Structure 1
């Protein structure tokens, strides 16, 4: 990444800079097809709510449970090969989405793609977590900036590719992931990072018995429940309000607003108490989701997406930097894996509940229920996060 004035943004090692750029390209490929996935299953393949949620949950569970193993492997053996494998598996999974129509086949492809996410993120976040602790907030803010750039560009490309046939978007995304795996194989990410090669079970035990990590996990669970709505409830509701193209529009808006906000607020975010940032972001989430119970219509929903994106852009890098700050030396990937694995349970519940609410309940009931989860996150944050926290550690 480019340097900031003075010391606000450090000059990252070359392999970390390359990895940040790859995060942007990877998310471009990801968001080429994700906006179309739930809508394609319901409108084109005629999948019911249970089948749709099963596909999405299979992807989520593999993507968030398997990082426990992937992170431990990356901690023990390094990240290069597991990042390459992850990108290849994602490409094969998306290729399958373009080739098959049955529920069982789609669940299998979702497992493949989700396993790819687990391998890729286990390697990436293991590397990020090994950067100097005083730079973690800036690094994860930069990571969020690149991810938002991809989230802004990807839906536009995917929407254009899908004008003739949605399967074309799946194919283009698959090819891009496979090409990225070839780039990752040659780039040898992690060359600048010193790995403390401890036994994998020692790393798992260190993470599983860390009280501060479990407090942070408890704080994160409401967000893990709300975040999957970006892939299920949001596109389905936008489709109900304004047709299928509205689903892609919300992802473009999500990416553009997120990119603009992180560019404006990145320096500020690195200086604010992360506990306070998390607490107030949850309060904002509660009010934002609940507001849709009374403010119905596509214009209000798009305004909600703006508010949601600001909240997401605050919460994600803050939770990631706190996780990295808690990790003991040599077990960074494993700490992220434990956080991800436990969060998968809440995320899977979010997929099922969100899709069921959109299909079976009124907008007022749907958004009131989701808003209550945001208020729960606020309450848990107040109880478990100490406002005196200033360095990302939980005491």
Structure 2
């Protein structure tokens, strides 16, 4: 039986409620600048497809591979310092984006920002995963709700800041991350939680040898490939269709639709079987991506973004819930870290393939190829998740 949260009150400790609000503010800062990042590199800095994908992949690989270590550190020593360090590193990376031009410098800044993501999420998800298992579905639904709220507000603020210069938006985002880091340091998120002092190697062994986790990871790989298209293929294609402002529009639509959907469908999602939700969401992704092979124009693309957002809003909290539920006591952060690290390989492939398809192939070839990845997810999740 899943515990349903009261409509107007989150049933968790004060530090968890504050951390969820921090998630919303963090994502608002993230989406102030991410909407125009790939487009800015291609049109203003004139980076090649390989250089653009290298910047995005450096960020992704650090963000998703390093949680393997960050999660294990959180399991051993707690989350407070990791959350603070993560926010400060992200601020430093975005500060570099606002002042540097070369591809190599941007790769370095992306790696720093990605390392910040790894530290921050290693601490946050290690802490969330330690909440009672019967709360996980509700907790991760609320987490997704506040992330979507940030994703809706962030592009609007970033767009206003970028009217003068996109670098202003980068600098503003940097200051927000640094400010949140100071707040997190003073708030000491999770410092009152009693952590089982699990040895790092013991946590890693528990995660790496867990057959159910590996079945979930394999079923998640197509999603890890498709999700980065939100940051590379989508804004670049929207820019081709209707100019740079269209790139910001897709994130506003993404945020508001995600927030509206999770508010309306949260109870339904909590009552559904997680494996079935994942399987049918993949089928929806396959149909949505493939439909763009025949439906052209910015209005159809924005309708696609609505469909994509529904899929995203189902898959993200569902995969997080299943990961937390599989985790053994004391190794929650490590389980999330292993999931993230393996997914980083698929995500990096998604960045390179997505940017190459948009810049070198026809829309028909691009969207049919991505649609086939969604269909692969449908097949693998149908075969593996019931057993996991």
Are residue 129 (structure 1) and residue 129 (structure 2) matched? Answer: yes
Are residue 258 (structure 1) and residue 258 (structure 2) matched? Answer: yes
TM-score w.r.t. structure 2 length?
0.98
- Kept in 1, the 8 Å contact 2:195–2:330? The answer is yes
Counterparts of 1:10-25 in structure 2, within 5 Å, are: 10-25=10-25
State the distance in 1 between where 2:78 and 2:252 align: 35
Are residue 119 (structure 1) and residue 119 (structure 2) matched? Answer: yes
- Kept in 2, the 8 Å contact 1:279–1:382? The answer is yes
Seen in structure 2, the aligned counterparts of structure 1 residues 248 and 215 have a Cα distance that, compared at 3 Å, is: same
The aligned counterpart of 1:235 is 235
State the distance in 1 between where 2:293 and 2:192 align: 50
* 1:15 partner SS: helix
The aligned counterpart of 2:149 is 149
The aligned counterpart of 1:4 is 6
The aligned counterpart of 2:343 is 343
Are residue 220 (structure 1) and residue 225 (structure 2) matched? Answer: no
State the distance in 2 between where 1:85 and 1:381 align: 36
Superposed CA offset, 1:69-106 (max 9, x none)? 00000000000001000000000000000000000000
State the distance in 1 between where 2:131 and 2:294 align: 45
**C-alpha deviation, 1:3, in angstroms:** 5.5
**C-alpha deviation, 1:10, in angstroms:** 5.0
- Kept in 2, the 8 Å contact 1:15–1:191? The answer is no
Superposed CA offset, 1:289-329 (max 9, x none)? 00000001101000000000000000000000000000000
* 2:271 partner SS: coil
Alignment root-mean-square deviation, CA: 1.2
* 1:344 partner SS: helix
Seen in structure 2, the aligned counterparts of structure 1 residues 10 and 160 have a Cα distance that, compared at 3 Å, is: closer
- Kept in 1, the 8 Å contact 2:5–2:138? The answer is no
State the distance in 1 between where 2:114 and 2:96 align: 13
Counterparts of 1:151-166 in structure 2, within 5 Å, are: 151-166=151-166
* 1:286 partner SS: helix
State the distance in 2 between where 1:57 and 1:3 align: 37
- Kept in 2, the 8 Å contact 1:225–1:350? The answer is yes
State the distance in 2 between where 1:3 and 1:84 align: 28
The aligned counterpart of 1:327 is 327
Q: Which runs of 5+ in 1 are unaligned?
A: 387-393
Superposed CA offset, 1:179-233 (max 9, x none)? 0000000111114433111110000010000000000000000000000000000
The aligned counterpart of 1:58 is 58
State the distance in 2 between where 1:198 and 1:120 align: 20
The aligned counterpart of 2:298 is 298
Superposed CA offset, 1:318-369 (max 9, x none)? 0000000000000000000000000000000000000000000000000000
State the distance in 2 between where 1:3 and 1:207 align: 29
Counterparts of 1:1-395 in structure 2, within 5 Å, are: 4-5=6-7, 10-386=10-386, 395=388
**C-alpha deviation, 1:11, in angstroms:** 1.3
Q: Which runs of 5+ in 2 are unaligned?
A: none
State the distance in 2 between where 1:279 and 1:246 align: 31
Seen in structure 2, the aligned counterparts of structure 1 residues 368 and 222 have a Cα distance that, compared at 3 Å, is: same
State the distance in 2 between where 1:213 and 1:294 align: 38
Poorly superposed stretches of 4+, deviation over 4 Å: none
* 1:270 partner SS: helix
- Kept in 1, the 8 Å contact 2:235–2:247? The answer is yes
State the distance in 1 between where 2:315 and 2:84 align: 28
**C-alpha deviation, 1:45, in angstroms:** 0.2
- Kept in 1, the 8 Å contact 2:72–2:203? The answer is yes
* 2:109 partner SS: helix
Seen in structure 2, the aligned counterparts of structure 1 residues 137 and 53 have a Cα distance that, compared at 3 Å, is: same
State the distance in 2 between where 1:271 and 1:281 align: 16
- Kept in 2, the 8 Å contact 1:87–1:116? The answer is yes
- Kept in 1, the 8 Å contact 2:27–2:151? The answer is yes
- Kept in 1, the 8 Å contact 2:274–2:318? The answer is yes
State the distance in 1 between where 2:5 and 2:293 align: 44
